[in-house]
Structure 1
Amino acid sequence: MSLCQDRVVIITGAGGGLGRAYALAFAAAGAKVLVNDINLPAAEAVAGEIRANGGQAAANSGDITDYAASAGIVRAAIEQFGDLHVVVNNAGICRDRMFASLEEADWDAVMAVHLKGHFCIASHAVKYWREQAKGGKTLQARIINTSSGAGLQGSIGQSNYAAAKGGIAALTLVQAAELARYGISANALAPAARTGMTEQVFADTMKKPDEGFDYFAPENVAPLLVWLGSEVSSGVTGRMFEVEGGKLSIADGWRRGPQVDKGGCWQPEEIGAAVAQLVEQAVPAQKVYGT
């Protein structure tokens, strides 16, 4: 039996790039895929490609930034395929500017698509799954979120994007901790791949080679998604994966580092020496992208 045989999967932003690669890979593994994209013709093209290859898929253009519309996306998957097992939050946009030039609209748009979009779809899926669990059903449900290296370590000119992606990383930790009791896992990934967004910035670096291994192909990321969406990944939750080419790693999150304890209240004049000691002992953070 295929790894995701008859599992029902919602993938947002699946009309192209990474989302399309995920949709095709899940379908090849036996899943029934709801291809969501704000661009309906793009979603229909991917769903049609899956069906042409013998798989099951439906297109959907619901707005993930709207809470009520997101309920409709979840409902559409359940009505079309009879159940729901996996939500892949993939959709994203960029509005890159240096922080001093960033406008409120740039901030709001990125937060809406990335951070609120991750909340809206998952919220309705979790309500559906929780009711199933309360009814006695044993679940193997999955939330797969999309963060970014920008969210893990920052990126010059992308304060809005980095903040949203950092929020998604933290959201994933909380989802994993809270939802395990229902049989729901939550993981995230920070992919490095050629997409509509990255091609605008890294066109030369990420271009497809004339021959040999296509290092930045979206298809290199898809196998991890299929595995995470399957039942065999049940022991893995609350993890942040990084994928680049043939490289797969788990990111190390924030953790308490070196400390000094005075045993009482510090005086402002004492702080400088203590901070100098801590900085000397601490492992340096990875550099912000672009520095």
Structure 2
Amino acid sequence: MNLQIQHIAKKFHNGTKALADVDFSVSQGEFVSVIGPSGAGKTTLFRILNGMMECTGGQVLLDDKRFDSLKGRKKRELQKSIATIYQDFCLVENSTCLKNVLTAGLPDMGFFQGVFGLYGKTRKEEALKLLDRVGLLEKAEEPIKNLSGGQKQRVAIARALMRHPAILLADEPVASLDPVTGRQILELLKSIHETDGVTILMNSHNLEFSQEFSDRLIGLKDGKVVFDGKTADLTDSITTQIYNKNDTQIENKRGVAYE
């Protein structure tokens, strides 16, 4: 599935302009990282892409079908092709790993089934396979609150995969994790990307991880795209432009998350 972001703008009611004429496309199977300082508009962009927020200008196309202006069932049908994992995991802490993964199926279930958690044998088997894939099968009946941060993100990844997405949005997926655990999570995402052919669009402050795991980088600054190219093409001078850091600071902060 091809994603096209065409001249997207977002202006909030208080007059703040979060995005201005953001324009790029992502082909099926790419691993793309959106980088930039805090306030650049990265999270706003991702909320528009997963349907949580409406843009005030431009349009979003999925396989040439306009996504941003759809409503109701038509929008929900197209949304099935997109899944999101978040920095804070967005899991139900008192529920088990298995039940959290199964909640991905709620949009496809009837009201009665959803209320009483009647997921069915097939969904449960698939959820268990996905927990096994992310290395947490033995934790299936463990409450989320008992897990480490890295384990929680693995559950969130399994839940996202339950949607069989063509596009996976990873919104700061390792920002709340230590560097070792963060690398393990990105290695898992890279493996899923390579095995399943899922398109991954990642929002990240960590420049080193973005360069290591992505095929391509998109640099945002003040709501505008200031760089779009291969990871190897990101020079220190371009990084300076994106982050307003001097060359010495850039050299010293390689591998450190930009705030």
Larger Rg: 1
Give the shorter-chain TM-score range: 0.3 to 0.5
Q: TM-score, normalised by structure 2?
A: 0.35
Name the one with the larger helix percent: 1
Name the one with the larger strand percent: 2
Higher-RCO chain (CA-CA 8 Å, sequence separation at least 6): 2
Q: TM-score, normalised by structure 1?
A: 0.32
